[in-house]
Amino acid sequence: MRRPAKSLPDTNVIIRYLVNDNPALFAKAKEFFDQVKTGEARAVILESVVAECVYILTRRYRVPRDEAAASLIDILRYRGVVSKDRQELIQALTLFAEHNLDIVDCILHAKATSAGDRLFTFDSNLDGLDKKSHATQ
Is the residue at 13 inside a domain? yes
Is the residue at 60 inside a domain? yes
Domain range enclosing 77: 6-101
Q: pTM here?
A: 0.89
Q: What is the mean pLDDT of residues 42-54?
A: 98
Read off φ and ψ for residue 7, nearest 5 degrees: -110, 150
> pLDDT digit string (tens) for 77-136?
999 999 999 999 999 999 999 999 999 999 999 999 999 998 888 888 876 665 555 444
**The pLDDT of residue 2:** 64
Give the SS3 label for residue 46: coil
**The pLDDT of residue 133:** 52
Is the residue at 41 inside a domain? yes
Is the residue at 106 inside a domain? no
Helix/strand number for the chain, H first, E second: 7, 2
Tell me whether residue 21 is exposed, middle or buried, using C-beta atoms within 10 angstroms of its C-beta: 0 to 12, 13 to 18, 19 or more.
Answer: exposed
Read off φ and ψ for residue 36, nearest 5 degrees: -65, -40
Better-scored residue on pLDDT, 72 or 1 = 72
Is the residue at 116 inside a domain? no
Looking at the DSSP bridge assignments, the partners of residue 15 are none
Is the residue at 25 inside a domain? yes
Is the residue at 131 inside a domain? no
Is the residue at 135 inside a domain? no
In the chain, the number of structural domains is 1
